[in-house]
Structure 1
Amino acid sequence: MPERNIEFGKYGARGVRGSGLVARRLDELAGGIATPVTAKRGLIARLHYLTRTDHARAAAREAGLTVTDRTLKAWLEGRRTPSKANLERIDAAYRMVRRQNVARHLLRRLNREGRGTRVEFHPLNQSQVPQPLQRVVEYRSMNVRRWDRLVGAWAAGDDQGLDDAWTTEVLPDLGSQWGQFEFCSNVGFAA
């Protein structure tokens, strides 16, 4: 098995960690509120999502939204507006709670009763790499059947765990040249 990339981009290659692209795609599949938190509509929608049940309130507190009920009520009624730091906390808490709520459903759709989901790997961009140093990399696709660790780490917000699951469970199935796909320009899949 090849070693992991230590000095990625040293000769001008461009790309993003595959696990980061997977997290981005899972966020897209999870959906959510499109209006930004800085708009009143987006703020109110996120606050309603985070406060509609006791379970949601507890998850929001775990995710870092630790304001009093009185402050939340004032924000919902429009009597006060949250600071920039609190807006960021509200958005982060919303994303975390949304991930936790959607993870089980998304996992079932991705695993498809053991059949898995087709994943496309688009190679890194080597246009800035001098010709003698360029690798031959091509587009690849394969069926990923084990999504449990990937979705679990994504739902928990564990970037390192997601990267470890990606590089130990998914990439080795690409064969002996899996190291070429540690960094990619895109990773695509649907659920």
Structure 2
Amino acid sequence: MPERTIDFGKYGARGVKGHQAVAARLDDLAGFIATPVTTNRGLLARLHYLTRTPHARAAARSAGLTVTDRTLNAWLKGGRRPTRANLDAVETAYRTVRRHNVARYLLRRLNRQGRGTRVEIHPLDQSHVLRPRQRVVPYRTLNIRHWERLVDAWAAGDDQALDNAWTDHITDLGSQWGQYEYVTTVGFAA
């Protein structure tokens, strides 16, 4: 069995870790607000999402948004503008709460009652590697039937657990799984 890649990109290969590509795809499926938090519209959309119910407010507080209700109301009414640190806190809390809220839905869609979801793995980019050092890394597909560990790690924001779960799945590719530790993209639908 191949070991993990230690010196990735030494000869010019480009790509991202597979679990990061999975997290990016799950983020796309989560449907985050597209308008940046730095604009008034983006800030208000996030604040409305985080304050619409008492449960949402509690989730936002546990996700790190620790300002007072008075400050939140002033931001919502436009009386005050949050500092850069508070804008980052709002964005982080929003992404954390949104991931938690859509995780169960995504899990149900991805598992598809035990049938799973086909995942397309696009290999790393070797266009900048000298010809004699290039290797043939084909495009692969994999059917993942159990997404629980991947989605739970993504929702919790646990990068190491997501990496471990992804590695466990790509070992199903056989002895060549190490070639897919770094990829250009990972594609799947829910």
TM-based fold match above 0.5 = yes
Partner of 1:63: 63
For 1:49 and 1:171, locate their aligned partners in 2 and report how far apart those are by CA, in whole Å.
Answer: 36
Give the alignment's Cα RMSD to 1 decimal.
0.9
The Cα of 1:10 is off from its aligned counterpart by 1.1
Structure 2 unaligned residues grouped into runs of 5+: none
Partner of 2:185: 186
3-state DSSP of counterpart to 1:146: coil
The Cα of 1:131 is off from its aligned counterpart by 2.0
Partner of 2:75: 75
For 2:181 and 2:58, locate their aligned partners in 1 and report how far apart those are by CA, in whole Å.
Answer: 36
Same amino acid, percent of matched pairs? 72
3-state DSSP of counterpart to 1:118: strand
- Residue deviations 1:49-103, cap 9 Å, x none? 1011122111111211110111001001110000111111101110110000000
For 1:2 and 1:54, locate their aligned partners in 2 and report how far apart those are by CA, in whole Å.
Answer: 50
AA matched with 2:144: V
For 1:143 and 1:32, locate their aligned partners in 2 and report how far apart those are by CA, in whole Å.
Answer: 26
TM-score (norm 2): 0.97
For 1:113 and 1:48, locate their aligned partners in 2 and report how far apart those are by CA, in whole Å.
Answer: 34
AA matched with 2:77: E
Structure 1 unaligned residues grouped into runs of 5+: none
3-state DSSP of counterpart to 1:126: coil
- Residue deviations 1:122-174, cap 9 Å, x none? 01011122222222101011211110000000000111110111012x11011
Alignment map for 1:18-57 (pairs within 5 Å): 18-57=18-57
3-state DSSP of counterpart to 2:186: strand
- Residue deviations 1:18-62, cap 9 Å, x none? 100100000100103221111111111110110111221111112
TM-score (norm 1): 0.97
Partner of 2:9: 9
Partner of 2:161: 161
Partner of 2:103: 103
AA matched with 1:17: K
AA matched with 1:93: A
Partner of 1:137: 137
